[in-house]
Amino acid sequence: MLSRTADNLYWLARYVERAEYLARILDATLRLTALPLAYVGAGNEWQSAVATAGCADAFAAAYPEANEDTVTHFLAFSPANPSSIRCCLESARVNARAVRTALTVEMWDTINGAWLELKKWSDGPSSRQDFSSFLRWVIESSLRFDGSAYRTMLRNDAYWFSRLGLYIERADNTARILDVKYHLLLPAIEPVGGPLDYFQWASILRSVSALTAYHWVYRENVKPWLVAELLILRDEMPRSLASCYENLVQNADRIARAYGRQGLAQRQARTIRARLENSRIEQIFQEGLHEFLNDFIKDNNQFGAAVTQQYLV
């Protein structure tokens, strides 16, 4: 397979995953801001949404203030923000078109259909309700795309490269949301277990669609350290860092076997996977969650760079 093709497949999956993640953050923020102030505290949720999306600097340069209008526009519709939902879907479609023959009809239809449908919203949403249905539509498009890839794609290097993109992006997103939210929340004067805690943590879990999973795994109140454990170390949680890396190791391994040669990317993935597997949440807290997540994001980027170096350029 040409490096260029692999590159397109990789980025196609990354952009679709990122669009879904942004939609989930916006959805969780909308829910939080709809609650009475007494429940959620006076913190600026919209500011934190921008920080979780990882584009706080670009936002600050473009807008004077973070509120519902500016943030929804910036994260969802802005053509100037390269990682807005709109730009993600457009880039995904550009990448998909370049490798049209490597995709199945279902995948192409989903991504092309999403791109056509996007035009309906080019002037922004007409109301809050309209915006909600937009977010739902983005999430559904991503699910449909992922599902068609899973059900219709031949299991060869094309599929494996697209999975690499998907899981790298997902691991990055999970680490980021946990990092930002933990820092906004931990210094709270509010006693642990108060309503502030409950709604904030529930919203984090909801933004990675893990609220129900949490209750299945732990069967108790939402507690910060358990949320962190679920999203970092639990293999059975499909968005956790551990699970993302299990998948990355497997897919990188399959590529290595198919090509009969392995390198830095495989070694790095295995190393990160082993670390996650051998860590325990008490240890992570002792050494500092922020440091752990920062290191992880750095390692994850390095792994992404290694994949690019080895296969995509």
Cα 157-249-8 angle, rounded to 5 deg: 35
> Any contact of residue 249 with another protein (CB under 8 A)?
yes
Q: Identify which of residues 205 and 232 has a Cβ nearer to another protein in the complex.
A: 232
> What one-letter code names the amino acid at 35?
L
Closest approach, Cβ 253 to another protein, in A, equals 7
Cα 77-83-87 angle, rounded to 5 deg: 50
> Any contact of residue 271 with another protein (CB under 8 A)?
yes
Residue with tokens 């691991």: 171
Closest approach, Cβ 223 to another protein, in A, equals 23
> Any contact of residue 253 with another protein (CB under 8 A)?
yes
* Stretch of residues binding another protein (CB under 8 A), selected from 137-145, 183-191, 193-201, 266-274: 266-274
Closest approach, Cβ 229 to another protein, in A, equals 16
Per-residue x/- marks for another protein, 156-185, CB under 8 A? ------------------------------
Of 206, 275, 295, 302, the one binding another protein (CB under 8 A) is 275
Q: Identify which of residues 33 and 271 has a Cβ nearer to another protein in the complex.
A: 271
Residues 10-69 binding another protein (CB under 8 A) are none
> Any contact of residue 73 with another protein (CB under 8 A)?
no
Residue 57 C-alpha from the chain's centroid: 19
Q: Identify which of residues 139 and 264 has a Cβ nearer to another protein in the complex.
A: 264
Q: Identify which of residues 132 and 271 has a Cβ nearer to another protein in the complex.
A: 271
> Any contact of residue 215 with another protein (CB under 8 A)?
no
> Any contact of residue 277 with another protein (CB under 8 A)?
yes
Are 77 and 124 a contacting pair, CB within 8 Å?
Answer: yes
User: What's the chain's length in residues?
Assistant: 313
Query: What phi-psi label fits residue 260: left (phi over 0), alpha (psi between -120 and 50 degrees) or beta?
Result: left
**DSSP 3-state percent helix, strand, coil across the chain (nearest 5):** 80, 0, 20
Are 269 and 248 a contacting pair, CB within 8 Å?
Answer: yes
Q: Identify which of residues 128 and 267 has a Cβ nearer to another protein in the complex.
A: 267
Q: How many CA atoms lie within 13 A of 267 on its CB side?
A: 6
Residue with tokens 């559904």: 140
> What one-letter code names the amino acid at 133?
S
Return d(Cα 103, Cα 9) in angstroms, integer. Answer: 9
> Any contact of residue 106 with another protein (CB under 8 A)?
no
Output the six-digit token pair for 240.
């956790």
Return d(Cα 152, Cα 55) in angstroms, integer. Answer: 34
Of 122, 127, 129, 278, the one binding another protein (CB under 8 A) is 278
Return d(Cα 201, Cα 207) in angstroms, integer. Answer: 10
Q: Identify which of residues 117 and 253 has a Cβ nearer to another protein in the complex.
A: 253
> Any contact of residue 109 with another protein (CB under 8 A)?
no
Closest approach, Cβ 275 to another protein, in A, equals 5
Output the six-digit token pair for 289.
């969650």
Closest approach, Cβ 263 to another protein, in A, equals 11
Q: Identify which of residues 132 and 279 has a Cβ nearer to another protein in the complex.
A: 279
What one-character DSSP code corresponds to residue 189? S
* Stretch of residues binding another protein (CB under 8 A), selected from 21-29, 39-47, 172-180, 275-283: 275-283
Q: Kindly list the residues in this chain that would bind another protein in the complex (CB under 8 A).
A: 249, 253, 266-267, 270-271, 273-275, 277-278
